[in-house]
Amino acid sequence: MPVRIPDDSDFSSFKDQCLSPDGWSSRYNKGGVTVWCREQDSSSVQKIKMRIVCKDVTAETLYDVLHDTSYRKKWDTNMIDTYDIGRLTVNADVGYYSWKCPTPLKNRDFVTMRSWLPLGSDYMIINYSVKHPQHPPKKDYVRAVSLLTGYLIQSNSATSSTLYYLTQVDPRGSLPKWVVNRVSHFVAPKAMRKIYKASLKYPEWKRKHDPTLKPWMYPEQNTLPSISMADLTLQRADSLENIDESGVSEEKAQHSDDEET
């Protein structure tokens, strides 16, 4: 299937999903983080939505933190690797991301098309999985599929903002129920708090690391090679390996310290 760069209506729809309470069930609400889940009628792949209020962090700083891959390596300890593959337009690119799953589950990775839009006092970043001929599935990873993942950042004041994170990911495998529960009760809230803490430290870090380099804000700084839309196709889940890890018990799994709250 052809790949389409999100337009204003896609961003508007994404924002509505982040803000609307309809059809969402609260699974976690503690320490300033709220997590909601939603079962899809036409899909077995669950949607998760999170929100955190970030005091003493501006919306623009949050936006920079989520874009800055150099800084991400400092705070995203579940990440194995991430890199940009190429740009499509001034506000769309293609990138790679891999992350650690609890042993003995296999690690997952993605190739996604990402698009972003600053809109007034709001900032949005959304992505979905694509296929790129030079970045096929890797031997030691399960290629997962992002059906829709993204962030909505809203400014509350000159010194405060709210971050929403919405994701619907097919992990390409029958995961144990304890893994699914652990994501909503431990992993997701911890990830939101890590973004918040990283954002508090970002201005000082950025002052020492190419402070004027922000290609997501200034397209003329972008040195990525151009990618043709013709080289990309939509990543369909049914074309990938589907593994059964549903029998893995929680007792046998090794959790990283990052997953604890």
pLDDT at position 170, please?
A: 85
- Place 40 in a pLDDT band, splitting at 50, 70 and 90: low
- Place 58 in a pLDDT band, splitting at 50, 70 and 90: very high
Residue 3 lies in a domain: no
Residue 261 lies in a domain: no
Residue 120 lies in a domain: yes
CATH of the domain at 28: 3.30.530.20
pLDDT at position 130, please?
A: 96
Q: What is the pLDDT of residues 157-210, one digit of tens each?
A: 999 999 999 999 888 766 666 666 666 677 788 899 999 999 999 999 999 999
Question: What does the mean pLDDT of the chain come to?
Answer: 88
- Place 260 in a pLDDT band, splitting at 50, 70 and 90: very low
Residue 2 lies in a domain: no
Residue 96 lies in a domain: yes
257 or 18, higher pLDDT: 18
Residue 155 lies in a domain: yes
Residue 260 lies in a domain: no
Q: How many domains does the chain have?
A: 1
> Does 261 have pLDDT greater than 50?
no
What DSSP letter does each residue of the chain carry, written as one string?
-------HHHHHHHHHHHH--TT-EEEEEETTEEEEEE--TT-SSPEEEEEEEEET--HHHHHHHHH-HHHHHHH-TTEEEEEEEEEEETTEEEEEEEE--SBTSPPEEEEEEEEEEEETTEEEEEEEEEE-TTSPPPTTSEE-EEEEEEEEEEEEETTEEEEEEEEEEE-SEE--HHHHHHIIIIIHHHHHHHHHHHHHHHHHHHHTS-TT--TTT-GGG--PPB--GGG-EE--GGGS--EE-TT--GGGPBPPGGG--
pLDDT at position 188, please?
A: 83
Q: What is the pLDDT of residues 135-162, one digit of tens each?
A: 999 988 999 999 999 999 999 999 999 9
Range of the domain at 160: 8-38+47-234
Residue 257 lies in a domain: no
